[in-house]
Every structure is written in C-alpha cells, then in structure tokens.
Amino acid sequence: MYAIAFEDNNAVWRSQDNPVPASHEIVIRNYAAGINRADLIQRAGFYPAPPGASEIPGLECAGVVSAIGNSVTQFAVGDRVCALLAGGGYAEQVLVDARHALAIPEQLDFIHAAALPEVFATAYLNIYIEAKAAKGESVLVHAGASGVGTAAIQICKALGNPVYVTVGSEQKRQQCMALGALDAHDRKQGSFASSAMVWTDNKGFDVILDPVGASYLADNISCLNLDGRLVLIGLMGGGQADINLASLLLKRQRVIGSTLRSRSADFKADLISLLAKNIWSLIISGEIKPIVEKAFAIKDIDQAHQLLESNQTFGKLILTIDQ
C-alpha cells in the first residue's frame, strides 16, 4: 500500500507494508481521512505517535472493511465503517482495533463519515465525561467554527445544554449560531469575558471547552461559575500563564487537562460505545451532521494543511484516497 510519511516537514506519498490484522483488529480499505491540527503538529515534529501506534499520520478515516481478525464479530468484510485512530489514517489501508470503528450511517458518503470520529469523540469526551456536564448546564466552546467546535455545538444543543462560542469572524459567528449556538463572540472585537458574563447574567459558565490555552486562561477562570469546569484540550495560545488560585478555591473551580490520542485502547473502546449509544442515532436521524468545509485529494495534502493553518475554515477538511 501507499501512505503519507512526514520527512523534514515534507509530506511524502510512499510505499509501506500492507497491514495484517491481529485477532481483535480490522483492516479498512480507506477512502477518506479527516485532517486535524494534531496532524500539523506531528508534521512539524512536535507530536509523535504514542508508543505502539502507527507512525503514519491521520486520526480518523472512513472506508470499507477488507479483512478481519478471527475474534471480530461486529463487522464483516464489505461493511462501511469510520474509525478513531491513534495514527494511520493517511493511507490506502488502515489497521484498527475493531472496537474503535463505527458503522457509517446510510445517508453519509465516505467524505462526511471521515469527519465524525475524532471531533465528535473529542467533544463528547471533554464535555460529558471529563467535565460531567449535566442537562441544562451552560457550555462555552472556544474556536466554535473548528471541527471540534461544530461537533460540540450540535451535541450540546441535542443533549440540552445551552451553548455559546467564540469565533474569528462575523461570518463564522453567523454560521455557529445557525448550527445551534445561542450566541457567539468574535475574538477580533476584544476579550470574550464581557460577552460571556452578559450571556450568563453575570453567573459564569458551568463548562468551558478550550483549545487555546495560556492567552485565554485568565478570562476563562473569570468566566467560570461556582463549581465551574475548564477543560483544556490545546495550546494554540501558548503553554505558560498565571492562574488565579483564589478564584479556584473560593468558587471550587476545576481546570482539567485532556488529550484523546494517547488514551488506552480500552478507554477508546468505551468512548466509542458511548458515541454509538448516545450520539449515533442523532447522526442517523440527521439531527446532528458532520460539517465539511472542503475535501482534497491526498496528493494535494500541502494545500489542505495550509488551508487549515489559515484558520479560514468552518468544520472539517478531508483528504480523499483513490484506490
């Protein structure tokens, strides 16, 4: 098979060994792979694959099962599936634990199915497992127009959590509100803190989901209510910041660091089961949908990565793989 390898920040399409499934694994004949910011960081040499994971980039894919291990019973050769990966998605064939795959809803093509696993798993994990958001609790999502952001907006709306977002333009503000956000703050208009307090009648948010990090930390803390939870999932705004410990103590606030890629296979299997139970029916019904900005052929990976880096996208970018 052929797959992408990162060599000195260059993406090279080269021959790799064909994968052979262990008893619990499946091989997916891959047609589409989601692009995530983690891929850009890995390409730059700062985010290696976890021990034991494929060095091939790509954290989600969609295709057809082409081989199964002898203990796999939930899938058969020929089934259409999408999968959450620790690596390996930028390839013609993908090896994955069968427990990390989900059947693709009939109405979705491979491009839209590849936009589901990573961002919907990330949004659900951090809002409902890490932050333990209860129905009715308010949620603020930064980078609302991102893949995770557009997933989080829809999940929160469907599960009964008032959701607000920050974005980078007025167009994205309108798009996020059309998707289900109750309001949105354009970060180019200054700090989100004043908007956040207006939205919550000066109470603050129950949960904040943040991929930005240091540059938002002080305002995040100030916008959390009593027993509020801040879940940090990225460091786009830096990794060093002062923190108001008095606020954490007096308001019993919590700051939670979270990553998905390095979680154990069993943890990911449980998470995928929760998605299947609580979210997949909403995708099948169309109440929740994957948001795709654009799809690129894998040979155009440089253009795709440059577009993601530009912050001019709404939802996901996808790579397509010809067979």
pLDDT tens digits, one per residue of 13-32: 999 999 999 999 999 999 99
Domain with CATH 3.90.180.10 in the chain: 2-116+261-320
Tokens of 207: 């949960």
Residues 48, 195: Cα–Cα separation, whole Å: 38
Structure tokens at 51: 């021990």
The mean predicted confidence, pLDDT, of the chain is: 96
Q: Select 119-257's CATH number: 3.40.50.920, 3.40.50.300, 3.40.50.720, 3.20.20.70.
A: 3.40.50.720
CATH number of 2-116+261-320: 3.90.180.10
Between CA 210 and CA 194 the distance in angstroms is 17
- Separation CA 188–CA 215 (nearest Å): 14
Q: What global pTM score does this model have?
A: 0.96
Q: What is the pLDDT of residue 277?
A: 98
pLDDT band at 67 (very low <50, low <70, confident <90, very high): very high
Using DSSP's 3-state secondary structure scheme, residue 88 falls into coil
Judge whether 144 and 165 are in contact, CB under 8 Å: yes
CATH 3.40.50.720 domain span(s) along the chain: 119-257
Distances (CA, A) of 171 to 50, 97, 113, 166, 199: 37, 39, 25, 12, 20
pLDDT per residue over 262-316, tens digit each? 999 999 999 999 999 999 999 999 999 999 999 999 999 999 999 999 999 999 9
Write the pLDDT tens digit of every residue in 195-224: 999 999 999 999 999 999 999 999 999 999
Distance from C-alpha of 302 to C-alpha of 323, rounded to nearest angstrom: 20
